[in-house]
Amino acid sequence: MKNLIRVALLGNPNTGKSTVFNSLTGLHQKVGNFPGVTVDKKTGHCTLSDTHVAEIIDLPGIYSLYPKAKDERIAFEVLADKKNKLHPDAAVVVADASNLKRNLLLFTQVADLKIPVILALNMIDVAEKAGLKIDIDKLSRKLGVPVIPLNARNKQGIAELKAAIARVSPVPTQKKTIDVASLEPAFLSEVQQRLSIEEPYEALHVANQYKNLLYLEEGSVPVIEELIRKHNFQPAKIQLAETAARYNYIEELLSDCVHQEVPPAAETFTSKIDKVLTHKVFGLLIFVLILFIIFQSIFSLAEYPMSLIEEGFASFSGWLISVMPPGVLTDLLVNGIVAGLGGVVIFVPQIAILFAFIAVLEDTGYMARVIFLMDRIMRKVGLNGRSVVPLISGIACAVPAIMATRTIENWKDRLITILVTPLMSCAARLPVYVLLISLVVPDERVAGIFNLQGLALLFMYLLGLFAAIGVAYLMKFIIGSKERSFLLMEMPIYRMPRWSNVAMTMYDRALAFVVQAGRVIIAVSIILWVMATYGPRERMQAVDAKYATAEMQQRYTPEELEHHLGSEKLENSYVGILGKSIEPVIKPLGFDWKIGIALITSFAAREVFVGTMATIYSVEADDSHMDSVREKMLQATNPHTGLPVFTIATAFSLMVFYAFAMQCMSTLAIVQRETKSWKWPLVQLAYMTGMAYVASLITYQLLR
């Protein structure tokens, strides 16, 4: 049995902390969630020597132990709560060697919690280039902890870091930084005493953050509140004094250990690039161009793997049918589970490609410029600069887009972004739009160049975009918040992307999607399958009996017979009955019960629409037969009036419904996961579907 050392990795954002984590753990890592917060929890294992193994916990990138966003409190909780499952034996603080002053603030805070600590000075190459000379030994002596210089990108210093972790002292060795107790002596000692907290600095944080800390014992909160009143403790004032004292300490320390040998260059590589990329006009144009390239790539690069997946699942289903005995079980497996699984996996290429681009933009440092450029514009409508990426990602798929909202620190801004992102026209709406537009919009050109069908499609995308903006603007006034919104963001220097990191992000996100969304989609697919396969016994038997007659056998070929039987069975199944029962509600929108069935099945996922239409109009559900679905739908007439079902009014009403309605179980599931409550997915379901109903009603009544 090897000795296991648990190590927490901390550091400011943009210090290369995740590169250090990846270098230490390689592929031996696991992504999960910290309980109660939506911060990715990454843990991994690292073999230090023949006798020692380390478990590394990657904590979120923070500038200070005082959380800027609520979820950042997890860092303090893990370090302070000795009963926490993840409480580490030692902490490694990764600092940017080229900016030690700001980076050491976090280090001194961690050190004052009196946990054994190692300081890793990453990006030592950048510091050297900037002409900084750091006396590592002296720094180590003065701090009383091991200091390891690193260039994690080239894996330089990783072996030394591993050795330092293996040798880490079981008791804290750090020297005193600032006199925490003297900040508010009477108050802190009483908090320590009453809550039996050993370290004054932990007591200070508990008094500051007690409302959000989950680990405090019952009865602690009233005690803290009583002491705050008694001593008139003013958290912001004390925090200010503490921060100032820490910087004094750091300044003194660094004046001894760090020397600027060459004056820094006035014009750096980064500032030259920024002249173009953050330009008031060109910056925005370049951003639009980059977006255009990303979307072209998502659709064109994903096309091939997506069709491979589709074919793969189709032939797998075919194989299953051929080897399994025909019956209910086979049907459930093929049309329920495998079909549901296929519906999930089909989105993996788009998600992987989207996240590869996002990882590249983040890794190079460009994402900070996007946020910078767009902040003002987005804030006008109740969002902020950090909402841009999720909204744009929503054009591919709302699920990864909502996962990307984690970078938004302000809860209200994040919530609004989550609520409006599904209004962006996602890839799953595309087949619905294409089918309906081809049905009612003539394939003609206007003004010589614009294809009418293309314009109609563009209109649908713009409708989604403007709806998202409009709703965000309204939500800004409806959703209350006491939290202030901040930008205050570091602009990292431009660097080459780390391709291993890009690959890892693609893998992580695709896996998270398959696991999280997959469960829901498969469950719903099975329920839908059951409802579409079974119906009240006497009605189903009547259908069977009708088609078993000799007259029917003669009228149709065996294939035709099967189609008619299938379509009539669907009509009498529970889904069919449900479709008929909602007909009065959807009639004002121009929909009949058949469209009603498609609407119901589409609540699992929108792309089910084409397949359902194909089943109802009894043709092969297969893309190459899209034309025949089209023809059948064109020929469909209303039995009462004899007029065609799919008029311009009905088709546009239906498209508007699809544009606005929340018909995606995976999105609802991911919103539930990200907001940690069922309230917001239900709000989203209600407002989007309500909006869809009203908008469709208006569309139909106007165009009729």
Nearest to other proteins of 230, 237 (CB atom): 237
User: Nearest approach, Cβ of 234 to other proteins (angstroms)?
Assistant: 9
- Site map (CB under 8 A) of other proteins, residues 95-114, x = contact: ---xx-xx--x---------
Identified binder of other proteins from the candidate list 247, 295, 459, 556, rule CB under 8 A: 247
Q: Which of 84, 140, 243, 628 binds other proteins (CB under 8 A)?
A: 243
Minimum CB–partner distance for residue 247 and other proteins (Å): 6
String of DSSP letters for 100-145: HHHHHHHHHHHHHTT--EEEEEE-HHHHHHTTEEE-HHHHHHHHTS
Looking at the Cβ atoms of 237 and 679, the one nearer to other proteins is 237
Based on CB atoms, which residue is closest to other proteins, 64 or 350?
64
The strand pair at 40-47 and 90-96 is best described as unpaired
The values of phi and psi at residue 552, to 5°, are: -65, -40
Three-state helix/strand/coil letters over 232-265: CCCHHHHHHHHHHHHHHHHHHHHHHHEEECCCCC
Q: How far is the CB of 483 from other proteins (least distance, A)?
A: 11
Shortest Cβ distance from residue 158 to other proteins (Å)?
A: 25
User: Is 57 or 493 the residue whose CB approaches other proteins more closely?
Assistant: 493
Q: How many residues bind other proteins (CB under 8 A)?
A: 42
Least gap, CB of 379 to other proteins (angstroms): 8
What CA–CA distance (Å, rounded) separates 602 from 586?
15
Per the DSSP assignment, residues forming a β-bridge with 7 are 56, 90
CB neighbour burial string for 81-97, b if at least 16 within 10 angstroms, e if fewer: beebebbbbbbbbbbbb
Closer to other proteins by Cβ: residue 372 or 574: 372
Contact (Cβ atoms closer than 8 angstroms) between residue 654 and residue 602 = no
Compute the least distance from the CB of residue 57 to other proteins, in Å.
23
Specify the residue, 316 or 372, whose C-beta has the smaller distance to other proteins.
372
- Complex with other proteins: residue 368 or 419, whichever CB lies closer: 368
Which residues fall within 8 angstroms of residue 322, CB to CB, at 6 or more apart?
none
| Between 22 and 108, CB nearer to other proteins | 108
Task: Report which residue type is found at 61.
Answer: G
**Spacing of C-alpha 574 from chain mean position:** 35
The CB-of-233 to other proteins minimum distance in angstroms stands at 14
Contact 59, 78 (CB under 8 A): yes
- Spatial CA neighbour of 43 closest among 69, 66, 24: 24
The rounded distance, in Å, linking the Cα atoms of 608 and 431 is 10
Closer residue to other proteins in complex, CB, 105/614: 105
Neighbours of 317 (CB within 10 A): 17
The separation between the first and the last C-alpha atoms of the chain, rounded to the nearest angstrom, is 77
Distance CA(695)–CA(423), nearest Å, equals 13
Q: Which is nearer to other proteins, 244 or 698 (CB)?
A: 244
Sheet holding 90-96, edge to edge: 29-33, 40-47, 52-58, 3-11, 90-96, 117-122, 147-149
Query: Residue written as tokens 């431009």?
Result: 494
d(CA 537, CA 402): 43
Measured from the CB atom, the residue of 283 and 579 that comes closer to other proteins is 283
Per-residue x/- track, 48-67, other proteins (CB under 8 A) = ---------------xx-x-
Residue 477-496 contact track with other proteins, rule CB under 8 A, x = bound = -------x-xxxxxx-x---
Spell out the alpha helix ranges (H) of 366-480.
Answer: 366-380, 388-393, 398-403, 411-420, 429-440, 452-478
- Please list the residues that pair with 41 across neighbouring strands: 32
Instruction: Give CA–CA dist 190/209, Å, rounded.
Output: 17
Element (H, E) at 41: strand 40-47
- Select the residue interacting with other proteins from 133, 175, 272, 376 (CB under 8 A): 376
Nearer to other proteins, 36 or 235 (CB): 235
Interaction mask 384-423, other proteins, x per CB under 8 A: -x--------------------------------------
Nearer to other proteins, 66 or 215 (CB): 66
Distance CA 156, CA 147 (A): 14
DSSP string, 42-84: EEEEEE-SSSEEEEEEEPPP-SSSS-SSGGGHHHHHHHH-TTS
What's the min distance (Å) between Cβ of 485 and other proteins?
9
- Please report how close the Cβ of residue 312 comes to other proteins at its closest, in angstroms: 46
Binding to other proteins by CB under 8 A, coded x per residue (else -) over 490-529, reads xx-x------------------------------------
Stretch 195-234: interaction string toward other proteins, x if CB under 8 A: ----------------------------------------
Do residues 689 and 642 touch, judged by C-beta distance below 8 A?
no
Interactions with other proteins, residue window 273-302 (CB under 8 A): 274-275, 278, 280-281, 283-284
Per-residue contact string for residues 355-374; x = within reach of other proteins by CB under 8 A: -------------x--xxx-
Of 64 and 602, which has the nearer Cβ to other proteins? 64
Sequence-distant (6+) residues with CB within 8 A of 650 are 590, 591, 595, 700
Pick between residue 107 and residue 433 the one whose CB is nearest to other proteins: 107
Burial degree of 305 (CB within 10 A; 0-12, 13-18, 19+): middle
**Closer to other proteins by Cβ: residue 413 or 568:** 413
Taking the complex as a whole, how short is the minimal distance between the CB of residue 376 and other proteins, in angstroms? 5
Binding of residue 377 to other proteins (CB under 8 A) = yes
Cα–Cα dist 55/316, whole Å: 40
Least distance to other proteins from the beta carbon of 492, Å?
A: 8
Q: Name the segment binding other proteins (CB under 8 A); options: 74-82, 263-271, 343-351, 514-522.
A: 263-271
Q: How far is the CB of 71 from other proteins (least distance, A)?
A: 16
Span of 236-244, 330-338, 535-543, 656-664 interacting with other proteins by CB under 8 A: 236-244
Binding site residues, other proteins, CB under 8 A: 63-64, 66, 68, 98-99, 101-102, 105, 236-237, 239-240, 243-244, 247, 264, 270-271, 274-275, 278, 280-281, 283-284, 368, 371-373, 375-377, 385, 484, 486-491, 493
